[in-house]
Amino acid sequence: VSFAGYQVCLPSGRSGERGSAYTYVLAGNGLFLDVQGPLLEASAPIAPAQVRGLVEMEPRLFFRRGKIPSRFMDLALGVLQASAHEKYLAIRGVGLDSYSLSEPEQEGREAGVQYSVLPDTVVNLHSHPGGLPAFFSGTDDSDDQGFGVSVVVANLDELFPRARARVCLYGYFWPVPLSWVFEGSVACIDAGLEPEEHRWHA
- For binding to Zn ion (CB under 5 A), which residues are involved? 137, 140
Residue nearest to Zn ion (CB): 140
* Shortest separation between residue 55's beta carbon and Zn ion, angstroms: 37
Cβ-based neighbour number of residue 138 at 10 Å: 8
Cβ closest to Zn ion, residue 137 vs residue 179: 137
Amino acid letter for position 106: Q
Cβ closest to Zn ion, residue 34 vs residue 86: 86
Cβ closest to Zn ion, residue 25 vs residue 188: 188
Cβ closest to Zn ion, residue 81 vs residue 137: 137
* Shortest separation between residue 196's beta carbon and Zn ion, angstroms: 20
* Shortest separation between residue 158's beta carbon and Zn ion, angstroms: 18
* Shortest separation between residue 152's beta carbon and Zn ion, angstroms: 5
